A = this chain, B = another copy of it.
Amino acid sequence: MTVASLGLAAKGAAPALAASPVGVRNGALERMADAIEGSAASSILSANARDIESAEQNGVAPHMLDRLRLTQERLAGISAGIREIAAMPDPLGEITGMTRRPNGLLIGKQRVPLGVIGVIFESRPNVAADISALCIKSGNAVLLRGGKEAINSNIAMTCAIRGALAAAGLPEDGVCLVTDTSRDSATELMRLRGTVDVLIPRGGKGLISSVVENSSVPVIETGAGNCHVYVDSAADLDMAVDILFNAKCQRPSVCNSAESLLVARSIAHEFLPRAFERLSEKNVEWRGCPETCAILPSAIPASEEDYFTEYNDYILSCKVVSGVDEAIAHINAHSTAHSEAIITRDHPTAMKFLSAVDSAAVYVNASTRFTDGGEFGLGAEIGISTQKLHARGPVGLDALTSSKYIIFGDGQVR
């Protein structure tokens, strides 16, 4: 099937999903969870084994193989995640702000699904299940287009999901998979304005910027995180060392890890050697401004490019600044507007930083690593939005909904 006809199939399924009671949607999720770790597990695992074999033959790097690999334990994890989504409250139907206008009209705003959600993702085969579950819970149809390395896994996974939809009395086209993994199929999906209501890219920087540049379908941009930690002159330096170590080293491959350290000049001589020593536990490479390099002889000189770079690795860019104002200006000029932290005991400085830093999540005295749907108490998430329209920060179920005005009259005219 062409991408366009798959889009129409998903669009055809959307009204039934939108109209279904939450019990029916949750029933489909429970069946999905059961199938993925139960009846469909062996077919998913053998399809995944074929993907792993091809990847090994193609010389795919070990960390990529690990992303691609499914095990019975990982399937159980996926199923547990789906059951958590089933247990969440229904994001649909709520009517807010219902008021009576002077002419007697009753006007309110009702929460409704977006319609058809397109997702372009790369190698992780769990994405098909996670995203489908969030879309079904929120009454949306979804059109998935995964990477070619995971095609067999994705086919087996969506087959199990479609079976669960049908068994629950919902149209199986509520979840459609584009099996053509050529670049053309992604381009075609980006032009399905009118059929697909929103497009969410899940993957690396190249994928995201290609979608953002080329899509005529509205995009929710997620993922890029050039996150900063600013250690103020009034910081508790022990706390600052702990937070920096956590933000940089606990899991450097993820988007909410820190990439850049800014440090106030007045404490740089005291703080930098201590931070350097602590981060040397993980052999972190430092790339610094001239002042940093003067204090830390083993630091490499940083280029302007370094301050824009999301390393996702044990590398840290560092710059000595005069104080909070220069820190704010540097962050707003270089960050991807994901997550930034200030470490300070000074209240006015903290409040200034909170107010002036223009990012999705701004922290006082805590690690940037907390920017996550689960940590924020929002439940499962689709990603971290770094755009300002529609959704900012962790993208949960609410972001997969829209609203419509409903108006009750008894013959009103203007």
Instruction: Give chain A's interface residues, CB within 8 Å of chain B.
Output: 15, 18-19, 99, 101, 105, 107, 109, 112, 114-115, 193, 197-198, 212-213, 216, 218-220, 236, 239, 242-243, 245-247, 250, 332, 354-356, 358-367, 369-371, 375-377, 387-390, 392-393, 402-414
- CB closest chain-B residue, reference A250: B414
Q: Is the CB of B367 within 8 A of A388?
A: no
Q: Is the CB of B411 within 8 A of A404?
A: no
Residues of B within 8 A of A375 (CB): 101, 414
Q: Is the CB of A390 within 8 A of B393?
A: no
Copies of this polypeptide in the complex: 2
Residues of B within 8 A of A245 (CB): 413
User: With A250-B414, A376-B107, A389-B390 in contact, is A366–B198 under 8 Å at CB?
Assistant: no
How far is B198's CA from A219's CA once the two chains are assembled, in angstroms? 13
- CB closest chain-B residue, reference A355: B19
Q: Is the CB of A402 within 8 A of B414?
A: no
21 contacts between A and B (CB under 8 A): A15-B332, A101-B376, A105-B370, A107-B376, A212-B216, A218-B389, A242-B411, A243-B411, A250-B413, A360-B404, A361-B405, A363-B407, A364-B408, A364-B409, A365-B408, A366-B412, A367-B413, A389-B389, A389-B390, A393-B404, A393-B405
Q: Is the CB of B354 within 8 A of A406?
A: yes
Selected contact of A411 from candidates B15, B198, B365, B406, CB within 8 Å: B365
Residues of B within 8 A of A115 (CB): 358, 388
Selected contact of A387 from candidates B218, B246, B247, B387, CB within 8 Å: B218
- Interface-centre pick from A15, A246, A361, A389 (highest chain B CB count, 10 A): A389
Q: Is the CB of A197 within 8 A of B388?
A: yes
Residues of B within 8 A of A198 (CB): 388-389
* Nearest CB of B to A310, in Å: 16
Selected contact of A218 from candidates B107, B218, B358, B404, CB within 8 Å: B218
- CB closest chain-B residue, reference A366: B409
How far is B353's CA from A408's CA once the two chains are assembled, in angstroms? 12
How far is B250's CA from A34's CA once the two chains are assembled, in angstroms? 58
Q: Is the CB of A409 within 8 A of B362?
A: no
User: With A218-B218, A407-B361 in contact, is A412–B354 under 8 Å at CB?
Assistant: no
* Nearest CB of B to A250, in Å: 6
Q: Is the CB of B392 within 8 A of A105?
A: no
Residues of B within 8 A of A410 (CB): 365-366
Q: Is the CB of A414 within 8 A of B360?
A: no
Q: Is the CB of B239 within 8 A of A212?
A: no
User: With A363-B407, A392-B404, A407-B370 in contact, is A212–B197 under 8 Å at CB?
Assistant: no
How far is B393's CA from A15's CA once the two chains are assembled, in angstroms? 20
